[in-house]
Structure 1
Amino acid sequence: MKASRFCHIYVNLFAFQPVQAFISSELSTLRSEFLDIDAKGYVKESINFTSKVEKFLASKQKESCLLGGSEEQMEKDRKAYMSTSFNYISKVQEAEDHVKFDFIRNMCLFMHTLRGFYRSALLCYDNAQKTIDDASLASQEIINPHKFEQSFNESKDAKANLKNSVLLEPWEKIGPTESYSGREGYLYVYHKKPVASNWSKYFCIFHKDNKQFQMIHYSPGKSTDFTTENYKFQYCTKKTLDPTIERRFCFEVYLEGKPLPMVMQAQSAQDFNEWTSVLDGKDPVIIVLLD
């Protein structure tokens, strides 16, 4: 008992106390990095951008000739939002990487120092050997600073290259590769109600090989359960015959199990053309009855 108590006192004086201030400083630095990530500001920016898109798409078709400047501003807003999104994601990932590297690496170095002390005190070393070995095994990739620095720099360069390529690419073309037989992206869906009708934003996925059409409701700034609505696609018309709808880029999708067609709105002329192309959209047939 006396030898064990002496070992604990020795560890406290010569192992724990010298690194206590160092660990506190590391924790304070990590906390500052996480506080530097403005999550609420990014959510607010997402809501503002979605609001701008909805106002732009809500403009009537007969006003399109007057919206040349608005379309240019909308494109600038899209690129600014993409840049903000990449910066936010990069900050989150960099903070998490520093947690793994700065904090865990220093803790592992401390554990290895403590392991050297336990070698000179066989009883304490035997009691802690399994815990120390498990920690070393779990962190064997992290404690190599050169390997981590190389991986971190490669990941950072890849994110920068991806960000630049996305900003240079027209936003409508950002999506699956050409070999993908289908399409996915955001569409606005018209819900007609007796009192007041409204438009809701959905993330839609169409699989052309099996005619599956999936819809996931999207609401920025609110908790979403990501419930997926699955339908069997039937056919599509390039225009809507509803006289009450004056929005641009609208088309109708006929889904199995839906008694009426669903009116959907793309986010641009290019987006409209690509959706109606992959859905094999046809011009609506108008039947005129003559007396």
Structure 2
Amino acid sequence: MGHPPLEFSDCYLDSPDFRERLKCYEQELERTNKFIKDVIKDGNALISAMRNYSSAVQKFSQTLQSFQFDFIGDTLTDDEINIAESFKEFAELLNEVENERMMMVHNASDLLIKPLENFRKEQIGFTKERKKKFEKDGERFYSLLDRHLHLSSKKKESQLQEADLQVDKERHNFFESSLDYVYQIQEVQESKKFNIVEPVLAFLHSLFISNSLTVELTQDFLPYKQQLQLSLQNTRNHFSSTREEMEELKKRMKEAPQTCKLPGQPTIEGYLYTQEKWALGISWVKYYCQYEKETKTFTMTPMDQKPGAKQQGPLDLTLKYCVRRKTESIDKRFCFDIETNERPGTITLQALSEANRRLWMEAMDGKEPIYHSPITKQEEMELNEVGFKFVRKCINIIETKGIKTEGLYRTVGSNIQVQKLLNAFFGLQVQDQGIT
């Protein structure tokens, strides 16, 4: 079974898909670690339990046969196929001699146990330490980022700049930890092909040739042994050349992570916070967002970095427009609004930084908000003059034509009289062009 490859560019984005692929590698590493422990355990049992040698060999052969190599990619080379089938070949060979009593050579432990123990403790153990640092740095970064994005824009500029520098520092540390972890886990994945198979191969070779009863069987085994050794050497050579390329790519990613974008990826993607209204108030929810400019498809995937959290499915929306949020209109920084065909109203999003907001708005063809010009002093004076004339006209109409009419001033009147006077006033207003 093949795993999809891990790209160094994925370390910068830290997407949900990257985490899922990384989890596959971690599970495979744990399975390999367990397998090595089983091989070491069974090998020691084989060395020490001479009286029950036949059953020990059978158990060991079953352990080998149950393990299956997983490789990166969709297709396997001839060498990889040969390596992947090697344990089955070993198991079949052991089954043929399970009833034969054999003597373990004195250096059996040096050939099998020590190399596997060293690989498990040094390589796999070092990889687990890298994992702990990756998870610790990631938890510290996202925790700091959450607090950073909740800072009010009304704080002092010096405080905001200091907070921005702290976030950038933690982001850089997390990015380097991610690169180191991906590099290490792929190195172990590749090197296990020969670091596990070679000790087993050496152990079996010593086991068979140490007993004169298996000489003939050993001669039959030699051609396959030579073919497997050639495959292992080819794999080792390929690993050495690939390792140099990985180191070079890792170096390039450290220098310019945003320039290493692979073909077929969205126009822009990353984490955004969305303002959502709940019964208890407004909250900001973190999403992993992707935008494809050609189709105007905006995908939002709810994201929770806490271990064991259940992830919801992505939501695909079609973008209508994008506009930067006015600074004075919201108590958050780096915000912009979008409108989609599928959801009514606007969606307020918060980017991770000002530079990140510019990238999102550039990808979405975002616009700047329109600011209405305030009324001038001259316009205010003209409006006041028109209003004064209108009020003066009203007073003159009442004093000249309605002062004695019941219902006005202190004179008690009826609604009919009041309505009649109002109709007369508005009829006069229509004729007076100066007022209208």
Global fold match (TM > 0.5): yes
Distance 1:6-1:71 versus aligned 2 partners, 3 A rule: closer
Residue 22 of structure 2: aligned partner: none
Q: Is the 2:116–2:199 contact (alpha carbons within 8 Å) kept by the matching residues of 1?
A: no
2:190 pairs with 1:97: yes
Q: Is the 1:188–1:264 contact (alpha carbons within 8 Å) kept by the matching residues of 2?
A: yes
Structure number with the higher strand fraction is 1
Unaligned stretches of 5+ residues in structure 1: none
User: Could you tell me how far 1:233 is from its partner in structure 2?
Assistant: 1.9
**Aligned counterparts, 1:54-93, within 5 A:** 54-63=146-155, 65-66=157-158, 67-93=160-186
User: Could you tell me how far 1:175 is from its partner in structure 2?
Assistant: 6.1
Residue 22 of structure 1: aligned partner: 111
Residue 277 of structure 2: aligned partner: 192
Q: 2:120 aligns with which of 31, 37, 45?
A: 31
Structure number with the higher helix fraction is 2
Q: Is the 1:191–1:199 contact (alpha carbons within 8 Å) kept by the matching residues of 2?
A: yes
Distance 1:189-1:242 versus aligned 2 partners, 3 A rule: farther
Higher relative contact order (CA 8 A, sep 6+): 1
Residue 59 of structure 2: aligned partner: none
2:245 pairs with 1:158: yes
Residue 176 of structure 1: aligned partner: 261
Q: Is the 1:100–1:142 contact (alpha carbons within 8 Å) kept by the matching residues of 2?
A: no
- Counterpart-to-counterpart distance in 2, 1:89 and 1:58: 31
TM-score (norm 1): 0.76
2:145 pairs with 1:45: no
Q: Is the 1:30–1:95 contact (alpha carbons within 8 Å) kept by the matching residues of 2?
A: no
Q: 2:216 aligns with which of 121, 125, 135?
A: 121
- Counterpart-to-counterpart distance in 1, 2:121 and 2:346: 52
Q: Looking at CA atoms only, which structure, 1 or 2, has the larger radius of gyration?
A: 2
- Counterpart-to-counterpart distance in 2, 1:286 and 1:68: 27
User: Could you tell me how far 1:78 is from its partner in structure 2?
Assistant: 1.9
% identical aligned pairs: 21
Question: Secondary structure of the residue that 1:80 maps to in structure 2?
Answer: helix
Distance 1:68-1:225 versus aligned 2 partners, 3 A rule: closer
Residue 266 of structure 1: aligned partner: 351
Q: Note the aligned Cα RMSD (angstroms).
A: 3.9
Question: Secondary structure of the residue that 1:184 maps to in structure 2?
Answer: strand
The AA in structure 2 aligned to 1:73 is Q
Residue 407 of structure 2: aligned partner: none
Deviation per residue, 1:21-48 (Å, 9 max, x gap): 5322233223213233223442222111
User: Could you tell me how far 1:65 is from its partner in structure 2?
Assistant: 1.8
How many residues are treated as equivalent by the alignment? 273
Deviation per residue, 1:119-166 (Å, 9 max, x gap): 8436x988x99xx96x988x677511xx34443333333333333323
User: Could you tell me how far 1:276 is from its partner in structure 2?
Assistant: 0.6
User: Could you tell me how far 1:240 is from its partner in structure 2?
Assistant: 5.9
Residue 247 of structure 1: aligned partner: 332
- Counterpart-to-counterpart distance in 1, 2:265 and 2:191: 37
Q: Is the 2:208–2:215 contact (alpha carbons within 8 Å) kept by the matching residues of 1?
A: no
Q: Is the 2:267–2:363 contact (alpha carbons within 8 Å) kept by the matching residues of 1?
A: yes
Residue 365 of structure 2: aligned partner: 280
> Which deviates more from structure 2 when the two are superposed, residues 276-285 or residues 79-88?
276-285
The AA in structure 2 aligned to 1:24 is I
The AA in structure 2 aligned to 1:28 is E
Question: Secondary structure of the residue that 2:331 maps to in structure 1?
Answer: coil
Deviation per residue, 1:193-218 (Å, 9 max, x gap): 12043222222111111121112222
User: Could you tell me how far 1:177 is from its partner in structure 2?
Assistant: 5.9
- Counterpart-to-counterpart distance in 1, 2:108 and 2:216: 20
Distance 1:90-1:228 versus aligned 2 partners, 3 A rule: same
Q: 2:291 aligns with which of 173, 191, 206?
A: 206
